[in-house]
Each structure stands twice: as structure tokens, then as C-alpha cells.
Amino acid sequence: MTGFGRDTFSNDNITIETEVKSLNSRFLDISLRLPRELYVHEFAIRDIIKKNIKRGKISLNINITLSENSLENTQLDPDEFNIALETLKQIKTLGSINEEIKIEHLLSLGDKFLNNKKNDIDVDFDIITNAIKNALDNLIEMRTYEGLELKKDLDSRIEKIVSTTDLIEELVPNSTKVYFENFKEKASKLLDTFVTNDERLYQELAILSEKHDVTEECVRLKSHIKLFNETSKNSIDVGRKLNFICQEMNREANTINSKSASTEISHKGIIIKEELEKIREQVQNIE
């Protein structure tokens, strides 16, 4: 599921900006962009995300900026500055670059010649933790809204499957009867022994008719639908469970199509499969 969240923290020394984004993914995929002083906390940060998010491609970006008070003590190292400048000139020459060297190019190497002690600033990890959690809360709020809209779509598709299954159940008795009579007529024309042995004929036809009766499959499909609805309301890690239930529902729909001798029932089975395919596409990303 998609979403975005951010948080900003400031004190006398630093400003911490935290942004987190999520894209659809069947699994949890975490990408981090951290300032150097937070590298040591990378695994702890990943754990915070894992405790709050179970699915999605998550991108977390944390940026720490020094305040003016901190920059007052910034010192320029002339020797390191000249080294940085010469490095840029060599890059220009080797790369045959015509662009002039600008201040932003030099500042990109500022950690080489500006001694602002940024790496020495003691960043309280509790502050980082709160910033990440606040950003994640905003992200989850957006994902929750998207989830509610998605549930409306899933509910409407489930209702269509239920109504189509009801129609199939109504068609089953007549379908079985028609199949029985048609097969009886064909068998009677082909085999004289069946004509003189009505009991044997009806036994064989009953067995064949039973093979094409999809009542059991309709009952199981409705049972899976009931479980689907209950799971979508109450379950934790609902996405994976709904995906599994969809597989079971699809299995019943396939059996209905393969067993039924009625083209009308088969057509309605196809409608069910189409809706299930759309539902499965959606639940792949639900957390």
C-alpha cells in the first residue's frame, strides 16, 4: 500500500527531518538514507520499521542540519580546501568537463575542509526514535485511509460473487435434471439393454448426474467468503491470509466450471473467477 509521512524536530543545535514513503509490494523491503552519525543505529531503525509495517517497499530518509549556533564554530582548513579544489580541477580535466567549478561543487566536499564537528554532535537516539515513529504514524494514517477505500471495493466484489453463487445454486437442480433426461434419451437410443433394464439405467445416470452437481462447491465457496469477510475485519497480517483464502475460493470456482454440464453455470463461474482475480491483485498489497 502507498503512503507518505514526515516529522521535523529542532533544538538549539540541530534540525532533524524524517520522511518515510511506501509503495506496493508483497513483501517488506526497507531502504534507508541516513546521515553518517546514524549508521551505528541502522539495525535499530530497521527494527522500528518492522514493528510498525509488515508489507510494502519502505523508503526512510533522515536529514540532520546544524543550526546557526552550531555553525558559529565552523572553521575552514585552508590546506584541505586546496586539496578539494585541486580534486575538482582534476575531475574536470579527466572528464573533459567544460562547466565552471561553483560554490555548490565545493560545498559537496565540505566535510573535507569545514570542521563543524557535525559528527561529534551527540544525537539522542530517543529523539530519532520518536521522529521515526511520528513519521510512521502519519504514513500508517494515510495507508489506513487507502485501506478503507480498498475494502469498499473488495466488499462490492465479494457481494457480486455471493449473488452469482446464489444464482448458480438456483440453476443446479434444473441443470442436473436436464442433463439426466438428455443423457437418458441418448443412452436409450444407443443401448437396448438399458431400455429393458430401467433400474440399471437410472443407477448409471444418477452416478453421472452426481458428478456434475456443484452444490457442494457452492457451499464451500460461501464458507470461504464468510471467512474472507471475518478475516478482513479482525485479523492481524490480514493481507497474506486473504491471499490464501482467495486461492481456496479460486479452487472452488475452477471445480464448478469443470464439473458443471451447464453452459449458463459455467458462464457464471467465469464471472466469479474474474472477480476473484481482481480481488487477488488487490490483496497482494494489503497489510
Same domain membership, residue 110 and residue 137 = no
Residue 56 in domain: yes
Same domain membership, residue 105 and residue 16 = no
Instruction: Give the per-residue pLDDT at 174.
Output: 75
How many residues comprise the chain? Answer: 287
In terms of DSSP bridges, do strands 14-23 and 56-66 run parallel, antiparallel, or are they unpaired? antiparallel
Residue 10 in domain: yes
Same domain membership, residue 39 and residue 135 = yes
String of DSSP letters for 35-97: -GGGGGGHHHHHHHHHHH-SSEEEEEEEEEEE-HHHHTT-EE-HHHHHHHHHHHHHHHHHTT-
pTM: 0.62
Q: What is the DSSP letter of 10?
A: E
- Residue for grid cell 453421472: 208
Same domain membership, residue 62 and residue 109 = no
Instruction: Give the per-residue pLDDT at 172.
Output: 79
Q: What is the mean pLDDT of the chain?
A: 82
Same domain membership, residue 56 and residue 37 = yes
Per-residue pLDDT reduced to its tens digit, 43-80: 999 999 999 998 889 999 999 887 665 555 556 778 88
Same domain membership, residue 10 and residue 66 = yes
Number of domains in the chain: 2
Question: HSE (CB half, 13 Å, CA atoms) of 255?
Answer: 16
Same domain membership, residue 129 and residue 60 = yes
Residue 87 in domain: yes
Whole domain around residue 133: which residue ranges? 3-71+123-142
- CB under 8 Å to 206, separation ≥6 — which residues? 180
Residue 136 in domain: yes
Same domain membership, residue 100 and residue 36 = no
Same domain membership, residue 138 and residue 54 = yes
Same domain membership, residue 10 and residue 109 = no
d(CA 224, CA 226): 5
Same domain membership, residue 90 and residue 58 = no
Same domain membership, residue 45 and residue 7 = yes
Give the residue ranges of DSSP H helices in 191-237: 192-195, 198-211, 215-234
Residue 62 in domain: yes
- Average pLDDT of span 16-34: 91
Per-residue pLDDT reduced to its tens digit, 100-152: 888 778 777 776 766 655 445 567 889 999 999 999 999 999 988 888 888 89
What is the CATH number for 35?
A: 3.30.230
